Structure 1
Amino acid sequence: MINQATVKLRNITLGVGRPKIAVPITGKTADEIGEQAQKIVTVKPDVVEWRIDYFDGVLDAGQLTQTGQQLRQILGDIALLTTFRTKGEGGELELADDGYFKVCETVLQGHFTDALDVERFHDETAVKGLVGVAHEENVVIIMSNHDFDKTPAADEIQSRLTGMVELGADVAKMAVMPHNANDVLTLLTATTKTAASVNQPLITMSMGDLGKVSRIAGETFGSALTFATVGAASAPGQIPLQNLRQELEDLKLN
């Protein structure tokens, strides 16, 4: 079992016990988002990730804020992570840095989210500034990097995760694409070593079918959150929530 710092996210704590489970919302309209949320709350995941890059109104501050506040009401006590995933990291919409940070600032100003995903490889000064604003608003920063083509070397994964913590991330996240079993082992090894050396929780995963084992073994290797599906998936290799809950229970550490 990996010992690491914890982060409070509404009514859950990341970094202790079994990995918490997040479920994505990927609706394109406010109605679709509401319908997905109503379905998801009945199965009570730990976290809902609202993928706002799927939302048709994401670039309209008024629509984004209104829909976010409506979503917050539907979710009740379930923690909300809001994410704009750019096209280059597997998202739905191409957006330059200025637009990306404007959307993130709108999310913070809307006071509906508990956590904000911030991609690591944008302008570093702007990233630091956004982290500062989020912390003033008591919003948790999950800083992320996604490689849909390959699995970097273990030392590179460690370097990226450590760099996120140095930039002020409350939680550092990295997802990679494996091409063989050794790639999955590389991700798990890097996770374990990084978890032993930083003071923030980590979220890591190896994607696709090859990487599914990484989505259920976080308690052993040091990943604090995993992603499941209730309906549409937002990344390759996500496991249905009901199945994932049982698998995490089977692998729990006493």
Structure 2
Amino acid sequence: MATTVVKLKQVELGSGRPKIAVPITGENQVEVLAQATAIVQAKPDIVEWRLDYFQNILNVDDYRETAIKLIERLNDIPLLTTFRTEKEGGEMTLGITDYVSIYQQVISNHLTDALDLELFLPKTVVSELVAAAQDADIAVIMSSHDFQKTPVKEEIISRLEKMDQLGADVAKIAVMPQSGSDVATLLAATAAAHEKLKTPIISMAMGKLGKVSRISGEVFGSVLTFGTVGSASAPGQIELPALRREIAQLALDKM
């Protein structure tokens, strides 16, 4: 089935080779902007700002000022904004009311190009934020992260299908493999879901075992991978230059 192309500024998810996103993990405005400067020089396709690292996130004025300066610094590089909850590997404990409030600020002020929204949040929160983001022309990357294990193939596919049904523009799943078989499970599930769904898929197996999944997206159907310029935001992320080389080596148009 042909994949729908999701456009973030000039970057197309679901078209051509997998794109590369790089995380910003600064704890304050100075660190965020310093990381952004280094990342921009490396020219990734997308920058992900991990708000759960930003210590003053509940200060609306500080967040807004930092976001505006960050967007200016990124220029034409699209911004993905993510608050990763603690239960899915995030760095900060935050109640659902504050989570929703932060995302409402992001949406109402148009301070991002795409928003990460976790599948297993309360259904009403998911549906309301999906609608609000898409009304503001902000793409929703719906996600599920399992830092303990790799679910069976059918469960991985089921989660991706559920994201599609809930209106996600892009469906993302990350798992923790305990064996090579787990990595194979993730890749097989990705390929099966890619054939079944029009929604673009992002998938990865984390840690050292899963590194192959971060470079083989074009083969199995994952449209985005995450690399590093400086600090990583998840285990197994590969430095951007090396990741770019490996993706190019596996490009289908070279085979």
TM-score by length of 2: 0.98
The answer (yes or no) to whether the contact 1:68–1:110 under 8 Å persists in 2 is no
The answer (yes or no) to whether the contact 1:52–1:83 under 8 Å persists in 2 is yes
Q: Distance in 2 between matches of 1:74 and 1:34?
A: 8
* 1:194 partner letter: A
The answer (yes or no) to whether the contact 2:180–2:209 under 8 Å persists in 1 is yes
Q: Distance in 1 between matches of 2:156 and 2:4?
A: 19
The answer (yes or no) to whether the contact 1:19–1:219 under 8 Å persists in 2 is yes
Other-structure match for 2:249: 250
- Secondary structure of the structure 2 residue equivalent to 1:100: helix
Other-structure match for 1:97: 96
Structure 1, unaligned runs of 5 or more: none
The answer (yes or no) to whether the contact 1:69–1:110 under 8 Å persists in 2 is no
Q: Distance in 2 between matches of 1:136 and 1:4?
A: 22
**Equivalences for residues 200-215 of structure 1 within 5 A:** 200-215=199-214
Other-structure match for 2:110: 111
* 1:221 partner letter: F
Other-structure match for 2:39: 40
TM-score by length of 1: 0.98
The answer (yes or no) to whether the contact 2:2–2:198 under 8 Å persists in 1 is no
How far did 1:3 drift? Answer: 4.0
Q: Distance in 2 between matches of 1:87 and 1:126?
A: 17
Identical residues among aligned pairs (%): 53
Q: Distance in 2 between matches of 1:203 and 1:24?
A: 15
Q: Distance in 1 between matches of 2:98 and 2:166?
A: 21
Other-structure match for 1:125: 124
How far did 1:17 drift? Answer: 1.3
Range with greater deviation from structure 2 (42-51 or 101-110): 101-110
Q: Distance in 2 between matches of 1:91 and 1:110?
A: 24
- Secondary structure of the structure 2 residue equivalent to 1:196: helix
* 1:8 partner letter: K
Q: Distance in 2 between matches of 1:161 and 1:65?
A: 32
1:43-74 deviations in Å (ceiling 9; x for gaps): 11000000010001111122111111110000
Q: Distance in 1 between matches of 2:108 and 2:73?
A: 19
- Secondary structure of the structure 2 residue equivalent to 1:57: coil
Q: Distance in 1 between matches of 2:79 and 2:137?
A: 13
- Secondary structure of the structure 2 residue equivalent to 1:48: strand
How far did 1:96 drift? Answer: 2.1
Other-structure match for 2:182: 183
Q: Distance in 2 between matches of 1:109 and 1:64?
A: 13
The answer (yes or no) to whether the contact 1:187–1:206 under 8 Å persists in 2 is yes
Structure 2, unaligned runs of 5 or more: none
How far did 1:197 drift? Answer: 0.8
**Equivalences for residues 131-210 of structure 1 within 5 A:** 131-210=130-209
Deviant stretches of 4+, over 4 Å: none
